[in-house]
Amino acid sequence: MLLIFDLDGTLIDSSIDLAVSMNATREHFSLPPLDPNLIYSYVGNGAAMLIRRSMPADVSEQQLENALDFFLKFYRAHALEHTRLYPGVREVVEELSAAGHTLAVLTNKPERISFDIVRALGLQERFVRVYGGDTFANKKPNPVGILQLMQDAGAPPDETLMVGDSAVDVQTARNAGVRSCGVLWGFQPESFQMEQPDVVVSEPQELLRPLRPQIVK
């Protein structure tokens, strides 16, 4: 079974570091800070979209590029100050890996930062691939990442599951013709009202239970 995990809001709680980095970017441009909860609602479509949503509507494209550059440099330096795995995630990932399933990460966060976070948290050996928002020409919900991971693993659609915390992950799974599992502990569980996952879990350990009878072989 190929299990593809989103990163932010699914495996890791990166909320504080993202909010601090975004507000540092706004401060750099002499703008007041945003409510962290608002910033969290902007996460999921990649750093460029996070910047666009978090900056004033009247800024120029050049200013947005400058803001993105500042944000990425700041975030690279501070991405692990508060970021942690969600409770129970490590144990579930290790159990799934030990059971022989193929695990991968597909996120809209830049690949290099994503890999560094996974490695720093001690899980790099559990994931065969860590693909980011800049790995391919298109980000989620474009299905290219899932399709490539299926090719990498030799996994058919009915043996593939996308696990994530937002409608973007559900859309990506549907666009790739695979099933989706929505987690309720992440940044945007309310978005599942728009795009309903095939399976919903409220804590990491539940990933083991619904998978056994429904999906995992």
Q: How far, in Å, CA of 87 to CA of 106, rounded?
A: 20
Q: Is 69 a catalytic residue?
A: no
Mention every residue, 6+ apart, whose C-beta is less than 8 A from residue 115.
Answer: 124, 130, 132
**Residue among 6, 8, 165, 169 flagged as catalytic:** 6
Q: Do the beta carbons of residue 144 and residue 138 sit within 8 Å?
A: yes
Residue 25 near residue 8, CB atoms below 8 Å: no
Residue carrying the six token digits 């993202």: 18
Burial 121-149 (b: 16+ CB within 10 A, else e): bebeebbebbbbbbbbeebbbebbbbbbb
Measure CA 174 to chain center: 16
What is the distance between the alpha carbons of residues 40 and 106, in angstroms, rounded to a whole number? 19
Give the catalytic positions in this structure.
6
